Structure 1
Amino acid sequence: MTANATIQQIWCLRQATGTDIGVIQALSGLAPVLGQLAGSSVESLVRGMPGVAGAMDSARSDPDNLFITTDTSGDLNSSIWPPGNTTVDMQAGQSKAPGIVIPVSFSENISLWDFDSVSDNDLLGSITIFESEQGTGEIAKLAKSEVESSYYYVTYRVD
């Protein structure tokens, strides 16, 4: 008999930064070349870009447009929550109670995504639910992304 996991709560500890880390790292990598061409003040400017971008992002506080999948495609059409290929705005300190039930045979991946209309959706983090957790009560796991600097707790139980 297959176990069923009920996702009880999604709690946002920190939403994604929205800062494109790859672009910032590429800009920082240009600093030595620019410094040779135009002097050290340009190099200092470019090296400071990651801090400036991070400060701008913190000031904006854009919410994540959260949706959940059981696969790793990041496609909104594969979303299992919220219903109707929609998203839920989430910011630090907010939580939602999806109440969705997912069959678990051995293990099941749960991936949290940030919908992005202009580029690929961003993986906010994922957890793995195991059938062996059946009957152990409420479990909370951290879904995080080093790239997006996002941290979410997913609370569930397996019956």
Structure 2
Amino acid sequence: MKSLTIVSVKCIKPSSGIDSVAQSIFGVIGGAIGGAAAVVGASVSGGLLIAATGLATAGGASTGVSVINGLDHFFAGADELYIRVNGSKVWPSGKYKDINSQQTKDVGHTLPLEGKVKIQLWEYDVVSADDLLGYLELGQDHQTGSFTYLVQNPGEGSIYEINIKIS
């Protein structure tokens, strides 16, 4: 039987500091403020919509959107990362580990590669439900060796590398 080791996880881009519920709320508020900006509010991703004025470009996007997207840096920070395999938390031993952009965390968790294995990266949230940052599914027919996979959740804005070894 093969074994799977989650060697490490690298954060390429942490998740947005503003969750999708907040984005939706501010999108509605921005639409009401900006009149025709309701379309702009719906298209904002990963940013805080503070106000959308009548400064629309030919493409229908407000110049305020670029400012809003930039504000996300004030809300984003380290992800509070933990890992689940097939629905069970396997790392870390505490609630989570802080991980910033371009930072790598050694995991070193080994398990049998039986059937399908689903590795999920999660961010711990105190106020709302935890956020899925990305996942990787592997089957027992996966070849042996060392591999790096890119996982992401566009809704959260997160991008991660998962380094594994199959032997």
TM-score bracket for this pair, using the shorter chain length? 0.7 to 0.9
User: 101, 115, 128: which is aligned to 2:137?
Assistant: 128
Corresponding residue number in structure 2 for 1:156:
164
Matches of 2:101 and 2:132 in 1, distance apart? 16
What is the identity, as a one-letter code, of the residue corresponding to 1:15? P
Which structure 2 residue ranges, 5 or more long, are not aligned? 36-50, 55-61
Q: Quick one: structure 1 residues 49 and 125, their matched pair in 2 at CA, closer, same or farther if it must change by over 3 Å?
A: farther
**1:67 corresponds to 2:87:** no
Q: Secondary structure at the match of 1:55?
A: helix
- How many equivalent residue pairs? 146
Q: Deviations over 1:108-132 (max 9, x none)?
A: 0000001001110011100112211
Pairwise CA distance, 1:9: 1.4
Tell me, in whole angstroms, the C-alpha distance in 1 between the residues paired with 2:6 and 2:34: 52
Q: Which amino acid aligns with 1:98?
A: V
Give the fraction of aligned pairs with identical amino acids, expressed as a percent. Answer: 25
Q: Is the 8 A contact 1:134 1:157 kept in 2?
A: no
Corresponding position: 1:81 with 2:91: yes
Kept in 2: contact 1:108–1:130 (CA 8 A):
yes
Matched, 1:111 2:110: no
1:55 and 2:70 aligned = yes
**Cα drift, residue 53 of structure 1:** 4.3
Task: Give the TM-score normalised by the residue count of structure 2.
Answer: 0.75
Q: CA deviation at 1:157?
A: 1.2
Structure 2 SS opposite 1:126? strand
Q: Please say if residues 11 and 100 of structure 2, whose CA atoms lie closer than 8 Å, have aligned partners that are also in contact.
A: yes
TM-score, normalised to structure 1, is 0.78
Residue 27 (structure 1) shift: 3.2
| In structure 1, distance between residues paired with 2:63 and 2:149 | 35
Higher relative contact order (CA 8 A, sep 6+): 1
CA RMSD, aligned part only? 2.6
